[in-house]
C-alpha cells in the first residue's frame, strides 16, 4: 500500500492565484481530513470528510474548499491564495467514519505552500 499520498510536495503561488492540493489514500478509509501546520501553532483542522459526498468544516476553513467524490480522493482547493495561507498542509485518513478521531490517523508527507 502507498498509504496517503499528496501532490505536489512544494508549490509557490502568487497572491490571487488558485490551485488544488491533491490527496489520495489506498486503504479504503472512510474518514479523511486536511490540516495546516504553522510554527508554534500545532496542526489545525481545515476540512474533513466522513465518506464520499460528505464534507464539513474544521477550525480554519475560510479560503478553502473541498469535495469528496470518491473514497480514495480528497482534494483541497485554494480559491484565491493569500500570504496568510503560506503553510505546510497535511492530509490524513482514518479507518472509521463515525469514530474516526478515535482511531489512528495516517498522514501524508505534506505539501509546503508559499504564497508571495
Partner 1 sequence: AQSVAQPEDQVNVAEGNPLTVKCTYSVSGNPYLFWYVQYPNRGLQFLLKYITGDNLVKGSYGFEAEFNKSQTSFHLKKPSALVSDSALYFCALNSGYALNFGKGTSLLVTP
* Cβ at position 70, least distance to partner 1 in Å: 19
Tracing cell 476540512 back to the chain, one arrives at 47
* Cβ at position 20, least distance to partner 1 in Å: 19
Q: In angstroms, rounded to a whole number, what is the distance separating the alpha carbons of residues 57 and 104?
A: 21
CB 28 within 8 A of CB 20: no
Residue (34 or 85) nearer to partner 1, CB: 34
Residue (1 or 102) nearer to partner 1, CB: 102
Q: In angstroms, rounded to a whole number, what is the distance separating the alpha carbons of residues 23 and 93?
A: 10
Surface-to-core class of residue 99, CB atoms within 10 Å of its CB (0-12 exposed, 13-18 middle, 19+ buried): exposed
* Cβ at position 31, least distance to partner 1 in Å: 7
Binding-site ranges for partner 1 (CB under 8 A): 4, 31, 33, 35, 40-45, 48, 50, 56, 58-59, 90, 92, 100-102, 104-110
Amino acid at each position: 500500500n502507498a498509504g496517503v499520498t499528496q501532490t505536489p510536495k512544494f508549490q509557490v503561488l502568487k497572491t490571487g492565484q488558485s490551485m488544488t492540493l491533491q490527496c489520495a489514500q489506498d486503504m479504503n478509509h472512510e474518514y479523511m481530513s486536511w490540516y495546516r501546520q504553522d510554527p508554534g501553532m500545532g496542526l489545525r483542522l481545515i476540512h474533513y470528510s466522513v465518506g464520499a459526498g460528505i464534507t464539513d468544516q474544521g477550525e480554519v476553513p475560510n479560503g478553502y474548499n473541498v469535495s469528496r467524490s470518491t473514497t480514495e480522493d480528497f482534494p483541497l482547493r485554494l480559491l484565491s491564495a493569500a500570504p496568510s495561507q503560506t503553510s505546510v498542509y497535511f492530509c490524513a485518513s482514518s479507518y472509521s467514519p463515525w469514530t474516526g478521531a478515535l482511531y489512528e490517523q495516517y498522514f501524508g508527507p505534506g505539501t509546503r505552500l508559499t504564497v508571495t
